[in-house]
Chains A and B, each alone.
Chain A
Amino acid sequence: MVETRHCEQQTAMSWPCAGEGGRTGDWRSMKPVLDPAKCIAAKKDSIVCMLCWVFCPDNVITRTAPPEIDLEYCKGCGICMEVCPSQAITMVPENEGQPALNVEETGCDV
C-alpha cells in the first residue's frame, strides 16, 4: 500500500528490482505455459537454447533448466512463445480452468 514518501533525493532515481516498473502481472490476459516435455533445456537438463530468457522484455524468465516464469510480473506479451524453437510455450487464457459462463435462454424474440 502507498504510505510514505522517500524522495529525499533531489535527482529522480529508482533502484532496479522486480516490480520497479509496476505490478505488470496485472496486465495479463493470456499467460505462458511451458511444457517441459518439449523444452530443449528441460529435455537436456542443461542451460541451452534460453531464447525465452534472452527475449523476455520484462526479465521474468530464469536462466535455468527448465526456465521458470514469474507470473507476478509477466505481462503476457507472448514473445517467449514466438521465439521458442520447439513450441514448448503456449499462451492460454488467464481464466482457463474457471467455471464457464452459463448462458441461459432468455426467450428474447429478435
Chain B
Amino acid sequence: MTSNPSAVSVITGNKAAAEAARLARVQVVAAYPITPQSQVVEALASYVETGLLNAEFITVESEHSAMGVCIGASIGGSRVFTASSANGLAYMCEQLSWAAGSRLPIVMGCANRAMSAPWNVLNDQQDAMSQRDQGWIQLYCRDNQEIFDTFLQAFRLAEEVHLPVMVCYDGFILSHTVMPVEIPTQEEVDAFLPPFQSSTIVDLADPRNINPVTLANPRGNVEGTLCHGYMEFRSMMQRAHVDALTAIDRIDEEFASQFGRRTGGTTRSYLLEDAEVVLMAAGSLASEATVAADFLREKGVAAGVLGLRSYRPFPVEKVVAQLKNARLVTVFDKSLSYGYGGPIFIDTQAALFASEKRPQMHSYIAGLGGRDIKARELADAAQSSLDWLNEDKGPKEAQWLNLQL
C-alpha cells in the first residue's frame, strides 16, 4: 500500500504511542511521568483535557499506584493504558505480577531506558528485560510506524489471550526521534479493534472476589465444586503465553490484510533465506542491523537479520526454523543478565540446543546507557566473528561493542 501523504504525520515514537492509545479508544489512563516516556503521558493528558479522547485520566503519585489503578480499572471492564521507563517500571514491579496473574489485558508502553545506578536516562533494554518473568508479553519495535502498529495489535492480542502486553521501544532513539508515521482513521481502527469485553467485570448485582487466596492444592468451594489452586492458575498462564505466539502472528496477518503493513508478528527477518551469517537484535538495533547486512552483502558475505519482536513469549520454533541455514549467529543484546550473558543470546542458544544443525553463536553486548552503535560497527563485529569462525578458533567470549576500557 502506498502511503497517502495526508495521513502521514512526522512524529516521535512517544507521539505514535499516544496516537495509538487514542485511536484504540482507551477508557482509563493512569501513568506517572519519567524520562523518556513523559511525552506519552503529556499527550494523553492533553487529549483527555481537550476532549479528543473520552477517557478518565487518573493522576497518581507513583508508578506502583499507576499500575494499581490500571489493574482496578481493567478488572472493572475498561480498556486501560499506561507507560513507563526504567526505574519507574521497576517501581511497578510488584504490581506487574498482579496484572499478569489476574490475566488483565492491560497495554503498557515502555520507552526503554538504562537502569540506574549509575544515573542514566538514555537507551538500553535492561528495564523491560529485567521484568522478563512477570508474565507480561513483551514486544519490541524497530521504528515509529511499528510502535503505532504494535500498540493497535497489542490491544487485540491482550484482550484475546488475557495477558498484559508491554510494547517496548528504544528511549530517545525512537521515543524522541520524529519520523513519518501513517495514522489510519478512527473508523479504520474501530474495524480492527472491537470494544473490550471484560471477563472480570465487577457487578453490584453479582458481587465477587477477584484474586481470593489460593492454596497449594485445589480447594472445594461451599457448593462442593473444586476450584483451581495457585499452580493450576500459573499453568494456564504459561499455556496462554505459548498460545499467544500463534495469536501474535495471526493478528499481524489480519492487520496486514486491513492496513497493508505488517510488523512481522513474533519476528521480523531480513534477507534470511540464504543467510550464512545472521545478525540478531531487538528494537531499533534490528533495523540498524539490516543496513549492516547490506554492507556485508556488498562485500560478498551472505548476511541477514533476525529481528526479535516477541521476547516473551519467546518464538522458539520460528527462531530455530529461521536460523536453520546459518553458520554463524551474532546476537547484539542491549541488556545483560549479570553473571551470565545477553538475554537474547542465552535464549537463542537454548532454543538451538535441540536443533540438529547448530550454528556457532557469538554474543555482543551493545549500546548500554545510550552508547551509539553504527551499522558499520555491527557489520565489522559480524565480520570479525566470521573470520574467527573461518579460522576455526572455537567458542568466542562475549564482546562489548565500543567499550572504551
**Interface residues, chain A, with chain B CB atoms under 8 Å away:** 1-7, 9-20
Contact = CB atoms under 8 A, between A and B. Distances in A.
Interface stretch (B76-84, B172-180, B223-231, B337-345): B223-231
A19 B214 contact: no
Given A3-B225, A18-B222, A10 B212 contact: no
Nearest to B200: A11
Given A15-B208, A16-B207, A10 B162 contact: yes
A13 B236 CA distance: 15
A19 B209 CA distance: 14
A7 B228 contact: yes
B210 A11 contact: yes
Nearest to A19: B222
B240 A10 contact: yes
B175 to A, nearest CB: 32
A9 B201 CA distance: 12
B269 to A, nearest CB: 32
Contacts of B226: 2-7
B198 to A, nearest CB: 10
Nearest to A10: B103
Contacts of A7: 226-228, 232
B218 interface: yes
A43 B381 CA distance: 91
Task: For the complex of A and B, list the 4 residue pairs with the smallest distance between their C-beta atoms, beginning with the closest.
Answer: A2-B220, A19-B222, A10-B103, A7-B228
10 contacts: A1-B224, A3-B226, A5-B225, A5-B228, A7-B228, A7-B232, A11-B104, A13-B200, A14-B227, A15-B209
Nearest to A3: B224
B211 interface: yes
B125 interface: no
Nearest to B230: A12
Nearest to B209: A14
Contacts of B102: 11-12
A5 B220 CA distance: 8
A4 B225 contact: yes
Interface residues of B, number: 28
Contacts of A2: 220, 224-226
A22 to B, nearest CB: 8
Interface of B: 102-104, 162, 199-200, 206-212, 214, 218, 220-222, 224-228, 232-233, 236-237, 240
Given A2-B225, A5-B228, 13 more contacts: A5-B226, A6-B227, A10-B162, A11-B162, A11-B199, A11-B200, A11-B211, A12-B102, A12-B211, A14-B221, A15-B209, A16-B208, A18-B222
Contacts of A19: 222
A12 B224 contact: no
Contacts of A16: 207-209
A67 B58 CA distance: 44
Nearest to B207: A16
A17 B222 contact: yes
A34 to B, nearest CB: 25
Contacts of A5: 218, 225-228
B162 A13 contact: no
Nearest to B202: A13
A98 B236 CA distance: 50
Contact of A10 (B199, B209, B220, B224): B199
Nearest to A4: B225
Contacts of A10: 103, 162, 199, 233, 236-237, 240
Nearest to A5: B226
Nearest to A7: B228
A23 to B, nearest CB: 8
Contact of A13 (B104, B210, B224, B237): B210
A74 to B, nearest CB: 16
A9 B233 CA distance: 9
Contacts of A4: 225-226
Residue from B225, B236, B240 whose CB has the most chain A CB atoms within 10 Å: B225
A17 B225 CA distance: 14
A10 to B, nearest CB: 4
A2 B220 CA distance: 5
Contacts of B214: 12
Nearest to A9: B199
A20 B221 contact: yes
Contact of B209 (A1, A6, A13): A13
A65 B236 CA distance: 49
B225 A14 contact: no
B228 A12 contact: yes
Contacts of B207: 15-16
A36 to B, nearest CB: 30
